[in-house]
Amino acid sequence: VRKFSEDINGEYRQESLASLLAISTRTRPKEYRSIPLNETPSHSLWIDPVAGHIAWKFEAVIDRERWRKQQGIIENRAPVRIPLPEEVSSRLKVLLSTNPTATNLGELFGGHLAALDSSTKRYLKNISTCSHRLTLGRLTSSFSRYVLHICQDEAYSSLLGIDFRIGTPSNFNYCS
């Protein structure tokens, strides 16, 4: 992560930003069109580049919440907001200023997502220092496990890592 942060304003700024976003969003660059830049009815996850966070809808994970909402028992919960690292947030704001009409993450990157995916894979291969090389697949699936290792809390790891395979969604019943 330190290497990505060092490169984010240099020659490999797109690739390092894509690497950090792969960690944060669990999404490869070629899939960035699926992540909107604001809340929409058809998406349960989005990035807010102005506020500098990733957000997701709580009721998209907890089926009981959807049922209770349908029954009129509860109001909509506020979305879960996860702050992005400052380096990522500031770089997304720069991209947004150059493309203010962008509606999704892919448009922020100019739409050449297959090329970005390929160049990010090359970047990761070139900065790897051991035989267990960095890959986009590893980046998209490892952050929540790292958080779990550090904090030993399944609910927090799932919330922050946007990985609902860590623990069980019923852990969120204790979040208020």
All residue ranges of the chain with pLDDT < 70 are: 1, 60-69, 71-77, 156, 159-176
Q: What pLDDT does residue 169 have?
A: 61
Q: What pLDDT does residue 67 have?
A: 63
The string of DSSP codes covering 35-80 is: SBSS--TT-SEEEETTTTEEEE-GGGT-HHHHHHHHTTSSPPPPPE
According to DSSP, residue 166 is labeled S
Consecutive H or E run containing 83: strand 80-83
pTM here is 0.77
Q: What pLDDT does residue 151 have?
A: 76
Read off the tokens for 157.
Answer: 């790891």
Helix, strand, or coil here: 176? coil
String of b and e for 130-140 (b: at least 16 CB within 10 Å)?
Answer: eeeebbbeebb
